[in-house]
Structure 1
Amino acid sequence: MDAADGDERGTTERVLALLGLLQQRHVWTGPELAGRLGVTPRTVRRDIERLRTLGYPVAASQGVGGGYRLGPGKDLPPLLLDDEEAIATAVSLLAGAGGAVAGAGDAALRVLTKLDRVLPIRLRNEVRALSGSVESFGGGRPAVGPDVLMTLARACRDGVEVAFGHPSGDEVRERRVEPYRLVASDRRWYLFSYDLDRDGWRSFRVDRMTDVTARTWRFVPREAPDAAAYVQENVASRVYPHRARFLVHAAAGTVRAQLPASAAVVRPREDGRCEVLSGAGSLDAVILHMVLLGHDFEVLDPPELGRRCRELAERLLAAGATISPEPGGS
């Protein structure tokens, strides 16, 4: 028996090291791997078979340019990261959690929660320090501490209650919630949760939270509405003093391309038109937004909005009454 095979712990560590090498480069020859691992080519062949037994698709080819390569499998194999790679990955994910690629923020946060399970404590302080040096410019989201995002993501994952301070009028009140999902809009992070003190579903802006703490009480998940749809409707209309519903004579895809997701909810209809649910600080502002879309539309709710449309239409007609409709007229 090869001396390198004599110790079970040594064999496990060597096989993991072999897997790490295969993930670093496209092709390795047997002698190259043996030299890196300090074993014989025979041991390399045995370790390759161990990886295959574990489900890793290691292919072998002969001749010039041949060698061992880790191919794509049915399932994604676990990645082996050294300390520097783990830190770089975590910092990049923290920076990308508010990224510009559609869906990347949610995916980055999901990966962070998985990485958090295995990241050694000695590396967490380095990740925290390095993430503090990452900033962005342009129309990004308000700054949210990585520790806050991670605390909320872990609580959603583990099903434990969360407590935090949140503005309510002129004061900050403590809220106790069952967290279900973190939802990323094009501008902010929101926590979709069940408010235990108000006995109902709520969404909270994460950048407004203070003293976020995961509690020890676990909860049995309730039957919940769609988190993204709830938060979008809340952001687009519920938070405004005036809410409105329109029937727009245009396809839903066309209207969605004109309106930010945080500004309105667009629902398709079978007749090729769509309904738009939106809100604003005044009735006139809601009407202006719809007029600027450039499509014919009808007011569905509320009735006072329809009356305001007629009033504005009369004023606009009166304002243009002194202008001749004919080109060059006087």
Structure 2
Amino acid sequence: MKRIIITGAGGQIGIELTTTLREIYGVENVLPTDIKEPTHEALAGKPFETLDVRDHARMVEIVKDFQPDTIMHMAALLSATCEKDPFLAWDINMHGLVNALEVAREFKLKFFAPSSIAAFGDSTPKDNTPQVTIQRPNTMYGVTKVSAELLCDYYHTKFGVDTRGLRFPGIISHVQEPGGGTTDYAVEIYFEAIRNGRYTSFIDKDTYMDMMFMDDAIAAINKLMSADGSKLKDRNAFNVSAMSIEPEMVAAEIRKHIPDFELSYDVDPVRQGIAGSWPNQIDSTEAREQWGFDPQYDLAKMTETMLEAIKNK
């Protein structure tokens, strides 16, 4: 990668991905795009293009002008948001993906698109969920992610596009607060611990989900995109996770730093239903063996980092 376009750069991963890639490749070689003008300081006042990913002509115009060698397609509606308007979710998540893949095919670009543990469903094995297994999601977000995995595979085998992708778990970050995901409780709990010393979780206790600290997620993207493509047996759906946790585990770790922290519950049936259909713990063996996935943050290290960073804000 030398010159990179990022769609959905104003999202949770997009902001920090843009920042990291600019540190590596230079500000002038990384162009973030999003449907709205940037408000976060990491993007404001620097090269940026407004882009609705459903607008193919505008995407082509940006690519012709910037002349990238890589496109990272991060634009998508998230799980809970998708359930509120499934038809809009399909339009943005799939129409936008097809446009980005077509641009990658036409201009011979390397391509990255994230998938999610939402691509799994009730019939998927819950523990040590393998790389290749049954995928029958019952949410629109999950349906779009399975479709995206298959479509990216198709563009690789049919057209030779160098497509790559990760099945992300919940991503935890102190830079951008969450925006409509089922795993958002694991971010909100840290912000509320600092603000108020208490948190009311919309996910019930004993609901295990995979999580990863943002630094590990960004490192995983870079490592996969830098890997020798000839050695990748899989391409667009690598399981990656650093930890499997539930709310009480996070609260217990927070209490090591804030002893009086209180956790209560007001379970959201929609998001709880989504969480219940996902695996308890996925198996990241293929990512480790094929390209060296190696997360550095466990729950203890992540909690200490999150609380300190939020406090400093």
TM-score category (smaller protein): under 0.3
TM-score w.r.t. the length of structure 1 is: 0.25
TM-score w.r.t. the length of structure 2 is: 0.26
The structure carrying a bigger helix percent of its residues is 2
**Structure showing greater relative contact order (alpha-carbon pairs closer than 8 Å, 6 or more residues apart):** 2
